[in-house]
Structure 1
Amino acid sequence: MEAPDVGAQPETTAAAVGDHEAMDMVAEDNMEPNPSQVLAYSETYSEYDERELLLLQRTKETVQMIARDEVNDAIAEVFKGVQSTGIAEADYQRQCEKFHDMLIDHYRRTQSTVSVSPIWDGHDKPIHTVFVRPNLNYITIENDGSRRKTDNKVLQYKDLVYKENKLIKRVIIQGEPGMGKTTLLSKFVLDWCEAASPESQEYRANFSDLETLKGFKFLFHLSLRDSPETSEVVKMIKTQLIDKMYADEDERKQVYTLLQHILKTDKCILCMDGLNEWTTDLNNDPFPIIATCHKQCVALITTRPWTMVDKRIKDSGIDLLIEVSGIMDKEQLVIFIIKSRQTNTSKSHKRFMSYVKEHKLEHFLASPLLLTLLVSVWINSQHFSGSLCEMNCILLDNLFRKATKHEGKFSHAQFLCLKGTNYIYPRVEMLNSLAKLAFECTFSSGKSLVFSKEKVLESLSPEHLKFSLQAGILSERYISSLRSEFSFLHETMQEFLAAFHIAQSNGISISSILGTIRHVLEICQVFMYLCGLDIEKANTLLDSAVHDLKGDISHGLSAYVNGRTNCVFL
């Protein structure tokens, strides 16, 4: 037997088997799978697809459920929002009505009366019993910046708040001291109250178109003097109105929040009295700040003419400029004041008018303040001697009171007309400075009723000038962007103060006085006042004047002076 042949065969078989497995593996890639394999694979994939489909189905159902819940929640929120919006709107309207009614009640308590005696502030009467319609004239701003008073008058409320059916944003109402600006604004407030909530069928409005005011849902009346350190109107409303109308702090906050929305959405009138008394230095804005978003607000601002000289005030910042220049019916006001001051008819307005004509006091009737003052001193005749000098001292004393709180009396007054005053003595140097200015403007280079700031500062210090403007003794009026002019409250006040300066000064030459005038009759009023202050100096002036006159003029002047001197006494 040959051993090698038998032992070699198994090795060969093993190698062949390995090659066969390798070939089978290759065959699996190159040959189509058999049915049993396809079935196995299909079952495996089917199970996978079912699981995947089940997962997808469950995911879809979950998403649908979540979406359905979210949609339902969203719909519920919408309905809830609609419902809450309705409730909020209704609640807002209720809050507005409550605030609106509270304002009207507040105004009818605080704005319904006016003083009928400049001498005694506490003596007041309902405005409707003494109010006489003022003259309101339009002022045009020329191309060169100057301002010219026209003869056109404001005759309706519509003319004050609308222009070409559009709201006027800022209306300036200027007027000299005592012309009734504050009373006019108070009457405006009361007219709005009557339009918004009628109280009497017999109510007399300032203008006939009361329905115009009814179109404004709210009106806010502010005294700028009472908010000297506040620049924003909304904050002024809080301190001057809300804090006074509501006691609870939480309620104040709620109403203040309500106010923000009102000013943004509703038509409102903002009445601001006394721009000349507003002393804030918080910003460079010459007017109280009204937020830009308060587009439905109309601002009515009263002031004195000198305030409008402020260089910060641009022409474009004045939408409408109005001037208060006295009242339409002076005699009617006399009737009202006399009726309000006495319980009987012992003193009639006819007797008063005769008194005015007899003493040539018609010029006092141009201003409601002076008219009321004159009626007061006439009724209280025991306190008024009847001299023009005393009348002027009474007036000056009341004007001084507006700018100072210090009181004091003359123990040994140089002039008797000063004896009854209460506010001049502590600031007597002010009176002397004003008298010097009046003299310089009357006699230095011919009589001048208007004068420059440079002329004023020759006699008054800056402090004295500020005091005089605050008191209303002097007025500053805007002429152009570079110039303003000054004047006394009235020509007669200037003449009285000029005479006062002559009477108290020893170094004034009578000849120098006469040398500055064209005719001696030009200083007739000054001479009359001088007769009441210092008769000796008046006689010296008269002698010098008569010496210069000729023929009939000399005799006529002497007769006139002698006749007038008998009417002037201390």
Structure 2
Amino acid sequence: MKKLYSNKLNYVTISPLDDYSDDKLRDVYMAPKMMAMRKDKKAFLKTEKQVNTYKEVFLTDNTVNPRIFIQGEAGSGKTTFLAKLALDWCKGVHGYIASDNSAPIFADLDALQCYEFVFHITLRNSVNQFDIYTMVKKQIMDSIYTPTDREKAYELVSEIMKHQRCLILLDGLDEWTGPGDQHNLPTLVVDHIKCVMLISTRPWKLADGKVKHSDIDALFQLEGINEPLALSKTILSRLIDKEELEITFSAFTLYVDKQKLGELLSSPMMLSAIVCSYADGIELKGSKCEIYILLVESLFKKANSDKSTFTHPPFPLFTRTEHIQPNVENLNRLAEMAFHLLFVNERENAIVFSITELKKFKIDEIKDFALKSGILSAQRTASALRSTLSFMFIHLSMQEFLAAYHIARNANRIDGIISIYLNRHPKAYLDISQVFIFLCGLDISYAEKLSRMMHERHASDTNESSNNKNMCNGIVLAGYREANANGYSDIALKLSHFYFNNNNIIDLHKIWETNAANAIVLNVGIDDTKPFSNQRLSPAIDECASQITIDLQSCLELTGLTLEGRSILVKGKYTIWFFCRICFRCVQGNR
């Protein structure tokens, strides 16, 4: 099994623009920024405690956590973290000396050696299976043993899982669907009581309410890379001459600061795209859509090197592309399939799909192009009768970008489909958050319409937790920032629950200006010891003294108001004023 992991998990692609550009995971790995979450009544709240050891993940007050969850957004490094953990277990406590990149964070390899076996499972490859023992047989044992030896191996694994302490790594709960509605989590049989499960997922999967809080013994938030600039330098060192590294890296840090790309660098996938494009002489400006269009451009180039620009580009971001126009029909077909898989198909066929779906959207005619470009990948699934191919997009976020592209191109024809999708279950608006954010960068008018549809669902959900409503606040805020990064102004996204803090107050206030009449909850938590975070400083706001007015006069629907912080002053009957310390001193005599 350790040999299997060494072959399967040991290498990682360092450039999303080039599948052939890979390196040993250990050589380019950068420890993640992981924050502990605490259970608070009906919600999990993020704490300020950063987790730096495996021991902190597995134990709470020296008690083993049987079911551990790690949540993080697309491209935040969940898959890489589980792969690194499996490789660390393979090497053992004396197997290697931690490199400068990984020490001292998650360097306590002794904490892994209490597990006799570690089973690494990719959940997207086990859709419609719910028994973990079956997943281990299919994904691990069948890859190690020939058919004649498998039955004995199955019996041995069953005995191991009964009597030995094992760690089960389940990667990608958000990409998995069990058979029927009763299976919301992969399960262990009662006999496998010594096994510990560590499950990675996107936050929406836990927020939709199907995973019960009693199923979660510990939860951690993965927020990307701990030292993104250090990883940027490591990747640059693989792409340019050694003599040029220091000068290029200095120029890159200035570029990141100028274009305000720092927030995107926290995502390993985004970081790789930004660094590799910079090494190729392409400068970006902080838009996620721009980065994904660059990824599509680079993938298409591998399959077809023909060049041509758009006379009338479908969206402004396509203006400078050269390899999309010759392949635009292929792009449109792939986007149509991506959309229907996510919004029309049942969830078990949304991520991993068969040749039937390719034929339905005529992708079978361009299958070689899709596979050669790398925008689709394929795997062979063995069965008792015959082997079959199953397909998936290179990454779920790429599928979501293409779905947003299809929506933007067909905005007037698919309202009904999206409305039906949002009505499937009360929390459906959470799992399309990435599609919504991409849509904000492609077509703000339809994004505004979609935000109204999402608002209708979550504003009417009286049983929804404050954690979910705060998440919706973050989704709309991220969409606003994406629209802003793509040059849109007068953005009118709809939102009813507002959670202000130092890091979002300026951008969120812009959303408030068009939504005061819709506001149901206003929660303000301002720390006057910290400055406001100005991602795009408004001309009306002074850099050293930010003054923002929230007018409550038109808040006819407001049912909840929470104010925390010494820098919050109330003026008159309807106006709340926010001042930083400098402004507060200036006006305290006239408050």
Q: TM-score, normalised by structure 1?
A: 0.59
Paired residue for 2:86? 189
3-state SS of 1:136 partner? strand
Q: Distance in 2 between matches of 1:314 and 1:461?
A: 22
- The equivalent of 2:488 in structure 1 is 499
C-alpha change, 1:191 and 1:372, in structure 2 (3 Å) is same
Is the contact made by 1:399 and 1:472 (CA closer than 8 Å) also made in structure 2? no
**Aligned equivalent of 1:230:** 129
Q: Which of the residues 67, 77, 95 maps onto 1:170? A: 67
1:524 positional shift: 6.3
Is the 1:436–1:498 contact (alpha carbons within 8 Å) kept by the matching residues of 2? no
1:288-343 Cα offsets, whole Å, 9 max, x none, are: 01112111111000000000123221111100010001222122111111112234
Q: 1:356 aligns with which of 256, 259, 275?
A: 256
Residue in 1 that maps onto 2:29 = 131
Deviations along 1:29-81, whole A, 9 cap, x unmatched?
Answer: xxxxxxxxxxxxxxxxxxxxxxxxxxxxxxxxxxxxxxxxxxxxxxxxxxxxx
More RCO (CA 8 Å, sep 6+): 1
Partner of residue 153, structure 1 = 50
Is 1:366 aligned to 2:262, yes or no? no
Deviation at 1:393, TM superposition (A): 2.4
CA contact (8 A) 2:177 2:184 kept: no
Take 2:60 and 2:421, find their aligned partners in 1: how far apart are those partners?
Answer: 43
Measure the CA separation in 2 of the matches of 1:467 and 1:159.
Answer: 29
* Residues 539-558 of structure 1 mapped to structure 2, 5 A cutoff: none
Structure 2 segments unaligned to the other structure (5+ residues): 336-401, 440-453, 459-463, 492-509, 517-533, 540-591
Cα distance in structure 2, aligned partners of 1:266 and 1:306? 33
Instruction: Look up the SS of the partner of 2:92 in the other structure.
Output: helix
Matches within 5 A, 1:306-385: 306-347=204-245, 348-381=248-281, 384=282
CA displacement at 1:202 relative to structure 2: 5.4
- Max Rg structure: 1
Counterparts in 2 of 1:480-519, with a 5 A limit? Answer: 480=466, 485-486=471-472, 487=475, 492-496=481-485, 499=488, 516=514
Contact persistence 1:436–1:459 (CA under 8 A) = no
Amino acid at match of 2:4: H
Which one has the bigger helix percentage?
1
The one-letter code matched in structure 2 to 1:154 is V
Verify: 1:264 aligned to 2:162, yes or no.
Answer: yes
How many Å apart are 1:354 and its aligned residue? Answer: 1.4
Report the counterpart of residue 413 of structure 1 in structure 2. Answer: 313
Shift in alpha-carbon separation, 1:299–1:491, aligned structure 2, 3 A: farther
Distance 1:119 1:340 in 2: 14
| TM-aligned CA distance change 1:470 to 1:108, over 3 Å | farther
In 1, are the aligned partners of 2:166 and 2:194 still within 8 Å (CA)?
yes
**SS of match in other structure, 1:105:** helix
1:270-309 equivalent positions in 2, closer than 5 A: 270-309=168-207
Give, in whole Å, the separation in 1 of the partners of 2:296 and 2:204.
17
Deviation of 1:189 (Å):
0.7
**What is the rounded CA distance, in whole Å, between the counterparts of 1:306 and 1:361 in structure 2?**
25
- Residue matched to 1:215: 114
The 2-side partners of 1:297 and 1:333 are apart by 34
The alignment partner of 1:257 has SS state of: helix
Give CA-to-partner distance per residue, 1:156-194, whole Å, 9 cap, x none. 211211233332110000011111111111111111111
Taking the aligned partners of 1:302 and 1:199, their CA distance within structure 2 comes to 26
Q: Which residue of 1 aligns with 2:8?
A: 110
The structural deviation recorded for 1:377 is 1.1
Instruction: After TM superposition, give the deviation of residue 127 of structure 1 in Å.
Output: 1.2
For 2:6, give the aligned amino acid: R
Alpha-carbon distance between aligned partners in 2 of 1:156 and 1:150, rounded to the nearest angstrom: 16
SS of match in other structure, 1:346 = helix
Distance 1:515 1:302 in 2: 37
Aligned-residue RMSD, C-alpha: 4.4
Q: Residues 399 and 316 (structure 1 numbering): CA distance in 2 closer, same or farther, change over 3 Å?
A: farther
Between Structure 1 and Structure 2, the one with more strand by share is 2
Whether the 8 Å contact between 1:435 and 1:498 is mirrored in structure 2 is no
Which residue matches 1:200? 96
1:148 Cα deviation after fit: 1.1
Opposite residue 195 of structure 1, the aligned amino acid is G
SS in 1 for 2:161: helix
Unpaired segments ≥5 residues, structure 1: 1-102, 438-453, 503-511, 528-570
Letter in 2 for 1:241: I
Give the secondary-structure state (helix, strand or coil) at the position aligned to 2:82: helix
Code of the residue aligned with 1:182 in structure 2: it is T
**Separation in structure 1 between the aligned mates of residue 116 and residue 511 of structure 2, nearest angstrom:** 62
Q: Is the 8 A contact 2:260 2:285 kept in 1?
A: no
Distance 2:294 2:421 in 1: 19
Give secondary structure in 2 for the equivalent of 1:388: coil
Contact kept in structure 2, 1:170 and 1:298, CA below 8 Å: yes
Report Cα offsets for 1:398-434 as digits up to 9, x if no partner: 59999xxx99998541445215357864437833757
Equivalence for 1:119:
17
TM-fit CA distance, 1:457: 6.6
